[in-house]
A and B are shown apart, each in its own frame.
Chain A
Amino acid sequence: MPAYKVIAVLAVFTGLRVLSGEPMPDSLDLTPHHITVSVADLDRAVKWYQEKLGLTVVLRKTQENPSLSIAWMKMGGFRIDLIQYKGSFKPKVPSDHLLMQGWGHIVFSTADVDHEYQLLKARGANPSGPKTSKEFHNRTFYVQDSDGNYIEIYQEDPAKFK
């Protein structure tokens, strides 16, 4: 077999392997489990996540060395951990939060973005108006938690937009 054919066969084989989603041999097998946020006021944050997003507290505790209070908040199969860390501070957030490097926002998908928007508004949260992106085929809005952290709510299928 000529060399170019061997190379072509190998290339197709490698491509199929990647496309099939077969884990590469050195894959770490990571499963997203929760996300942790450092907050200024744990009581206020727990209340916000309970009232606005409907999360429930599954664990709450306070410890020394390092001095912190923690609340595990559950939502379906996912968890958000809130931590009030002694001496923590909030950096000055620029007008566009992505101008500050770091984890900028976390994103949840939903089947009906407008419904969730109305629900949050009715609960006194401050969501920005949903926007449709033709480029990315999604409809999305931001809401800020009681500490000003950005959460994005996101719907992917444009056929279902109202």
Chain B
Amino acid sequence: MKTSIIAMALLVGTKLSAQSAGSPLKLEFHHATASVADMSRAIKWYEDKLGFKVILHKQLNADVDLAWLIIPGFRIDLIKYRGSTRPAPQENHLSTQGWAHIVFAVKDVDKAYAALKAKGVDLPEPVVTIDELHIRTSHFPDSEGNWLEIYQDVPASKKK
């Protein structure tokens, strides 16, 4: 009897935990879409600074201009909506709730940072090591004020 109560409790427990955390959806990160103020400026920035290539650029209707840009394995979509506005930029972009930044892993974050600097990218933050998270990282905005991050895992023994 005692055993069956334990078994029942275990079953109920399993069922509850199955309900509280859903099985993973079968999803793969495909692209991110940014609403931009100036389509030509944004395309030029992603091409010149990050090496993206335009694979589609289309005026969908009088109000919407769309471009798909790719690097191997990833796409960024830029959309220019007539009448779109940007919330006032804050001192830290995380102060504005919503999708905040897209993060790219690089082999050597300092080299990537130097390459971006040489291309004239606005880099408001230095590269910093966050000891607790074992990462070395820097955030910067695109031509429209959308934030990106380059990042590298730093093993504890090889911290810079």
Contact = CB atoms under 8 A, between A and B. Distances in A.
A40 B96 CA distance: 10
Interface size class of A (residues with CB under 8 A): 35 or more
B41 to A, nearest CB: 12
Contacts of A110: 25-28
Contacts of A66: 92, 94
A31 B35 contact: no
A96 B29 contact: no
Contacts of A21: 72
B33 to A, nearest CB: 5
B150 A54 contact: no
Nearest to B112: A28
A88 B97 contact: yes
Interface in A1-42: 18, 21, 23-24, 26-40
Nearest to A109: B30
Contact of A101 (B29, B35, B51, B71): B35
Given A29-B106, A101-B144, A102-B146, A36 B28 contact: no
A38 B31 contact: no
A6 B23 CA distance: 59
Nearest to B72: A21
B27 A109 contact: yes
Contact of A103 (B74, B105, B146): B146
A51 B73 contact: no
B159 interface: no
A63 B72 CA distance: 35
A59 to B, nearest CB: 8
Contact of A102 (B24, B74, B132, B145): B145
Among B23, B26, B37, B93, the most chain A Cβ lie within 10 Å of the Cβ of B26
A112 B77 CA distance: 22
B81 interface: yes
A6 B27 CA distance: 48
B124 interface: no
B12 to A, nearest CB: 18
A91 B103 contact: no
B67 interface: no
B85 A101 contact: yes
Query: 9 shortest A-B CB distances, which residue pairs?
Result: A54-B24, A108-B27, A103-B99, A91-B87, A30-B104, A101-B86, A85-B94, A109-B30, A33-B105
Given A31-B73, A32-B102, 20 more contacts: A26-B51, A28-B50, A28-B112, A28-B116, A29-B107, A30-B50, A30-B104, A36-B99, A38-B94, A38-B96, A53-B25, A53-B27, A63-B132, A89-B95, A98-B35, A101-B145, A102-B98, A116-B25, A149-B99, A152-B33
